[in-house]
């Protein structure tokens, strides 16, 4: 039985209770259920549209983090790309030019780029931005690997060049301060002791007896002995085809087989052998052939001094031995 309601009865002139029953009660109940359903459904969609669930909130937070990471990653790739380009420029147009080596060229640097199947091509359809970025990173890694190999090669070339530069006879064997006169006597000269013209294949550097004589480059003492013509003489083998000889010494400061560095004191100026006065007779050989030592004095002469030497070299002088 439903809740009691009251209705006016004109016969009794009183309000009397009556109860919904049967069909009327069912209709009323149905209306109530329908209204409740409409209100509940409306409320559900309203809440769904205007309020996030906790999962959606967390997902949104994660998306924001991923977006920031993606932006940062792209920037890092851009910076790495710029840096690598700078290194490639230096490699091709600075280091290799200085070392007399050819640039690697685009064909070597680009070889193998783009042919990789590591990146799933389905990514291109689903996320093209990520696909292109992944390809860019793949190319960057490949170029970096090539550059690392290139720098290893430059390192090996540099080691070899450094050894060659150190071995090359590049300094004057006497200090300029102790040099009293440089006889630029390379070529056919009149020999004052023998009394006839013969090939003079070195330079005569006049200095007092006992003046220090220095190794012109890194090398090994091939000979250090007394010769009838050279007197006390040192032969230095500099490898890479170079050899130097230091004659008429008063004393040795090295022994046969000893290794020397450029600038090491190897002996002292003297007047031994076929010599007219105290001086150093200095010879340079390249691949077994005598060459004019004057061409190897660049390191310790100014441009003016060097020019003066070249001019003097064209004039005739008597040799001292
Ligand atoms: Zn000489």
Q: What percentage of the chain exceeds 70 in pLDDT? A: 87
Cα 181 to ligand 1 centroid, rounded to whole Å: 13
Cα 200 to ligand 1 centroid, rounded to whole Å: 6
Q: With a cut of 60, say whether residue 58 has pLDDT above it.
A: yes
Q: What is the pTM of this model?
A: 0.65
Cα 259 to ligand 1 centroid, rounded to whole Å: 25
Predicted local distance difference test score (pLDDT) of residue 298: 61
Cα 239 to ligand 1 centroid, rounded to whole Å: 24
Break the chain into its structural domains and give their ranges: 5-50, 71-167, 176-313
Give, in words, the CATH class of 176-313. mainly beta
Cα 201 to ligand 1 centroid, rounded to whole Å: 7
Predicted local distance difference test score (pLDDT) of residue 10: 86
Cα 190 to ligand 1 centroid, rounded to whole Å: 11
Cα 220 to ligand 1 centroid, rounded to whole Å: 22
Per-residue 3-state assignment (H helix, E strand, C coil) for the chain: CCCCEEEEECCCCEEEEECCCHHHHHHHHHHHHHHHHHHHHHHHHHHHHHCCCHHHHHHHHHHHHHHHHHHHHHHHHHHHHHHHHHHHHHHHHHHHHHCCCCCCCHHHHHCCCCCCCCCCCHHHHHCHHHHHHHHHHHHHHHHHHHHHHHHHHHHHHHHHHHHHHHHCCCCCCCCHHHCCEEECCCEEEEECCCCEEEEECCEEEECCCCCEEECCCCEEEEEEEEECCCEEEEEEECCCCEEEEEEEEEEECCCCCCEECCCCEEEEEECCCCCCCCEEEEEEEECCEEECHHHHCHHHCCHHHHHHHHHHHCCCCCCCC
Cα 223 to ligand 1 centroid, rounded to whole Å: 18
Cα 204 to ligand 1 centroid, rounded to whole Å: 5
- Stretch 47-68: mean pLDDT, rounded? 88
């Amino acid at each position: 039985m439903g809740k009691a309601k009251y209705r006016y009865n004109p016969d009794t002139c009183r309000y009397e209770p009556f109860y919904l029953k049967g069909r009327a009660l069912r209709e009323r109940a149905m209306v109530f259920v329908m209204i409740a359903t409409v209100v509940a459904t409306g409320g559900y969609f309203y809440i769904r549209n205007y309020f996030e669930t906790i999962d959606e909130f967390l997902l949104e937070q994660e998306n924001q983090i991923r977006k920031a990471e993606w932006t940062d990653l792209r920037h890092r790739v851009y910076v790495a790309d710029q840096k690598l380009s700078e290194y490639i420029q230096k490699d091709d147009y600075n280091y290799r030019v200085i070392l007399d080596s050819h640039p690697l060229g685009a064909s070597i640097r680009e070889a193998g780029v783009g042919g990789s199947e590591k990146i799933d091509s389905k990514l291109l359809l689903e996320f093209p931005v990520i696909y292109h970025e992944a390809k860019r990173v793949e190319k960057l890694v490949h170029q970096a690997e090539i550059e690392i190999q290139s720098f290893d090669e430059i390192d090996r070339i540099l080691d070899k060049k450094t050894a060659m530069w150190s071995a090359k006879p590049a300094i004057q064997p006497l200090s300029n301060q102790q040099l009293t006169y440089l006889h630029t006597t390379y070529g056919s000269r009149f020999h004052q002791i023998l009394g006839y013209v013969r090939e003079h294949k070195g330079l005569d550097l006049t200095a007092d007896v006992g003046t220090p004589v220095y190794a012109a480059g890194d090398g090994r003492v091939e000979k250090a002995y007394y010769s009838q013509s050279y007197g006390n003489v040192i032969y230095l083998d500099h490898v890479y085809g170079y050899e130097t000889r230091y004659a008429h010494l008063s004393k040795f400061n090295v022994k046969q087989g000893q290794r020397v560095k450029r600038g090491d004191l190897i002996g002292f100026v003297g007047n031994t052998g076929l010599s007219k006065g105290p001086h150093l007779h200095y010879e340079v050989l390249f691949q077994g052939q005598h060459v004019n030592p004057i061409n190897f004095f660049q390191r310790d002469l100014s441009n003016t001094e060097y020019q003066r030497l070249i001019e003097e070299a064209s004039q005739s002088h008597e040799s001292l031995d």
